[in-house]
Amino acid sequence: MDNLEVWMRGPITGIPDLLQPVAHVLLQVEEDSAKYTAQLSCEQLWARPCGNASIGFHLLHIRGVIDRMFTYAAGKSLSAEQFDYLQKEGIVDMELSVATLVENLQLQIRQALDVLSVTDPSTLTDERFLGRKQIPTTLIGLLFHAAEHAQRHVGQLLVTARCLK
């Protein structure tokens, strides 16, 4: 069954039915990001073939997006630390290893799954606000966007990884 995509393996224990798609995508992001970066060197992590964003950027950004969307989903504003992290997503840091970035992303995904497990499905259409502009959205909108945006960047990461081979 491990060769099946996460969504094909059945429900994730402890996650409400309506949030299964979000959990499935986040777990697929976790698996794919580890799989496609496992053999990369530090130089490859920060390389930008054909002007593409680096794999390091994608790993940082995926983690950051999940953190930010789940913060907004909780009805909170971003902290100073989150704004600082956002500013550093595009900065090459040769001190960061592939393993560290993947582990940090995995921790963020585990935290997100913990939040999903205690989310009351009856609140999914509750109004929430996005960013400094306070753009109106819903709880489910933010949770879904965290997952789909993360998956989009895994796709970009995969293309960049293929260009490096």
Name all contacts of 45-53 with Cβ < 8 Å and 24+ positions apart. Answer: 45/96, 45/97, 45/98, 45/101, 46/92, 46/94, 47/160, 47/164, 48/160, 49/160, 49/163, 49/164, 50/163, 52/156, 52/159, 52/160, 52/163, 53/156, 53/160
**What are the tens digits of pLDDT across the range 41-72?**
999 999 999 899 999 999 999 999 999 999 99
Which helix (H) or strand (E) segment is 137 a member of?
A: strand 135-138
Q: What is the pTM of this model?
A: 0.95
Determine the average pLDDT of the residues in 118-131. 97
Q: Rounded to whole angstroms, what are the CA distances from 81 to 74, 92, 107?
A: 17, 18, 17
Q: How far is CA 128 from the centre of its chain?
A: 19
Q: Does 164 score more than 90 pLDDT?
A: no
Q: Rounded to whole angstroms, what are the CA distances from 30 to 5, 42, 49, 129, 163?
A: 12, 20, 23, 27, 21
Q: At 165, is the pLDDT very low, low, confident or very high (cuts 50, 70, 90)?
A: confident
